[in-house]
Amino acid sequence: MIALYHSDPDLLEFSAEVRTCAPVAGADDLYDVVLSNTAFYPTGGGQPCDAGTLDGFPVEDVSHEGDLAPIVHRVRAPRPLSGVVRGCVDKARRLDFSQQHTGQHMLSHVLCERFDAYSLGLHIGRDDAYVDLAGADAAPMTRELADELEAEVNAWIAQDEPVRCFFPTPEELEALPLRKKPDPHPELRIVCIGSREAVACCGTHARSTGQVQALHILSWQQSHGNLRLFFVAGLRALRWAWPRAEQAEGAARLFSCGAQDLVAAVDRLRAQNADLARRLAELTRERIAAQLTSLAPVPSPAGPLYAACLEGADADGLREGLALLTRREGAVCFLCAPSGEGYAVALGAGPGARVHAGQALRAVLAELGGKGGGRADSAFGRCARMDLAAVLRVLGAQGQ
């Protein structure tokens, strides 16, 4: 079978003779088709296969099990295909994968030059792509370093150097500046980018670096000397950048500044919010302290009872409130604060109190639909509803 995508990567429409057409077992209207020649690139080398149609019927998968094996097109059709068929390759998908693959070569070359890292493999996904590199422990990745690598690749893209894909003679192979030395064989295909990059590869690529348009490093994972770089190239890079640029411009308008000053504006706002949050916390503590100081006890058989709902109090605020009120001889103190969809509660018993705080709180929470417990002097829990009158009634009964 002749792989037309090797000799002419821009060829998207072709005619071919059907050599075999076998129904896929267990699937209706699905056939595995082998052609005399094809422009459909099969899945391989980390690059997904081409998509398109054969005689107008969708090609759902293209596979190739080895150099001597045929390229198999899985086609969804109402009938078997035969004779001469017309193939059409999805242009947008081919361009996309060619841009990602060529961009990866350039990124890998820059990393090899700077850190002697070499590629282990490429994976092109639906939204992004990644390349795995070994020997990258000398390059602990940071956003600053990623930006430097990205700038170098994009400067190379702008030079619009030619990309050449060919099957070299042994003499040509020996003269090439190969990034990795491959084992020579008749099916060995080399991809050269300008005069800098040369590497064995079977994938589809752009005609020139200018067709890659742009490359952006999204993120990375670094482990045990290996580096995985996630990136987007070509139209993917533009699609990634467009909504973020629009969002940045919109946010900048809210701050009455330029997009280039947005980070500084957000930092100022965060500092202002932190100051406001600290001041609010101080005012809340002062308000709670005043509320507790003015709280009058309710006489009961259990001793002087204090009960209050403290808006805005956190767990530390409840503990501090208990510590303040249970200094008084025989005092029993119940405090609560709204928390989520319910209430956080705390109960304390001062010196000489007639109740056990943990036991008393369990009795209170049985009334309020909650759970909790604790020691003789302090206990904590949660409940779904609050009724301070019921709390005082239950606590008063504890002292009888």
- The length of the chain is 400
Contact yes or no for 363/332 (Cβ under 8 A): no
Share of the chain above pLDDT 90, in %: 70
Helices (H), 91-142: 91-115
Task: Show the CA angle centred on residue 224, arms to residues 220 and 226, nearest 5°.
Answer: 45
- What does pTM read for this prediction? 0.73
Arithmetic mean of pLDDT over the chain: 91
Which ranges of 256-328 does DSSP label H, i.e. alpha helix? Answer: 262-293, 315-325
pLDDT for 185? 77
Which amino acid would we find at residue 10? D
* Tokens coding 15: 């005619």
Report how far residue 134's alpha carbon sits from residue 20's, in angstroms, rounded to the nearest whole number.
42
pLDDT at residue 400, as a whole number: 60
Helices 315-325 + 262-293 axis angle, to 10: 20
C-alpha to C-alpha distance for 109 and 100, rounded to whole angstroms: 14
Banded pLDDT at 370 (limits 50, 70, 90)? very high
Least confident of 172-186, 287-301, 383-397: 172-186
Tell me, what's the pLDDT at 32?
96
| Distance separating alpha carbons of residues 156 and 119, to the nearest angstrom | 19
